[in-house]
Amino acid sequence: MRKKIIEFIKKYMIGLTFSLLICIVSVSAITYFDSKNVTYSNETTGMSSINVQDAVNELYNVCFPPLPLGDQILEDVPIVSSGDGLYKDEYEEGRYFYKGKNVNNYITFNNETWRIVSVEPNKTIKIMKNTSIGNRVWDAGGGTYGSTNWARPADLNTYLNSTYYSELNSIAQNQIMPKDWNIGLVTYNNNDLADQINKEKETIWNGKVALVTASEYIRSNSNQSSCGNINQVYESSNCGTTTWMHNSTSWWTLTPCGKERYVYSISSDSIYGGGYFDGSDADSGHGVRPAVYLSSSVEITGGNGSSSSPYILA
């Protein structure tokens, strides 16, 4: 046993220590060298950088790689159990949701203001546009009142993943990660959020751009005792006051509530406060707030998540 331990140390630990020392010495070298007075050749080094400063930055990232995007958020934001803030999800292991009306989940994406919906188990993050890109039908071509099958593909699916996606800038396109989206049907009389989440998972579609689900809208609400399932949010005139997702406009979710014509939308009804679920014909018009998953390799380079200083990505 003693011999095996010594061999392990010789094989792994010595090399690791040596590599770490090289990193420290190399990164520190920028203190002593003026890049203007040094001849640098990336053909010799094999690096992609074109000068000494870039080479040091590149080496630094190799030695001390940035945290995955989701971990950057979790390191920056405290987890709370009440009030407004970032919560650990009790229904899906490894997910975290922003809940409440006033949360610092603003992020700049495609040179626009978006909001962070959740941190995912694989350290990607899910974001949605802060405002609507305009009213559109969910689907009009799949039947008399449209189809509730997102994977048909629904008309809105086609638009978001072709025309809309192509209009994003190239940086934003490269930051998006294709993902499995839960598109299962959940009936309006469902009063069990855990069952609702499972119903959404019964049908999966893989793609780049879609919408938030009905359960994600519910999980953005800090008042889970009164707004914690479809029945409650379907009937309540107050649930819009305790979620950041409600912005006094109507907009589509990804979740069907009927096999042939109805999809959950968020109401903008000012008389009753808005923010509750409506079952809307798929061929009716509501606002569209696109949602995407950002790759875990994306890095936050600035901002604090507030409305005045959204996170900046690179």
Burial degree of 8 (CB within 10 A; 0-12, 13-18, 19+): exposed
pLDDT by residue (tens digit) across 30-51?
Answer: 444 444 455 545 555 555 555 5
Q: Are 141 and 122 in contact (CB under 8 A)?
A: no
Beta bridge partners of 119: 96, 125
Cα 114 from Cα 111, distance rounded (Å): 9
pLDDT by residue (tens digit) across 232-260?
Answer: 998 788 899 999 999 989 999 999 998 88
At 131, give phi and psi (nearest 5°): -130, 165
pLDDT band at 13 (very low <50, low <70, confident <90, very high): very low
Cα 309 from Cα 303, distance rounded (Å): 5
Cα 109 from Cα 245, distance rounded (Å): 17
Cα 262 from Cα 145, distance rounded (Å): 9
For Cα atoms 141, 147, 153, give the angle at the middle one, nearest 5 degrees: 70
Radius of gyration of the chain (CA): 24
Q: Are 213 and 118 in contact (CB under 8 A)?
A: no
Percent of the chain with pLDDT over 70: 78
Poorest-pLDDT segment among 37-41, 190-194, 207-211, 265-269: 37-41
Give the tokens for residue 240: 């819009």
Q: What is the pLDDT of residue 158?
A: 98
**pLDDT, the chain, mean:** 86
Phi-psi region of 46 (alpha: psi -120 to 50; beta: other; left: phi over 0): left
pLDDT beyond 50 at 3: no
Cis peptide leading into residue 66 (ω within 30°): no
Q: How many CA atoms lie within 13 A of 290 on its CB side?
A: 25
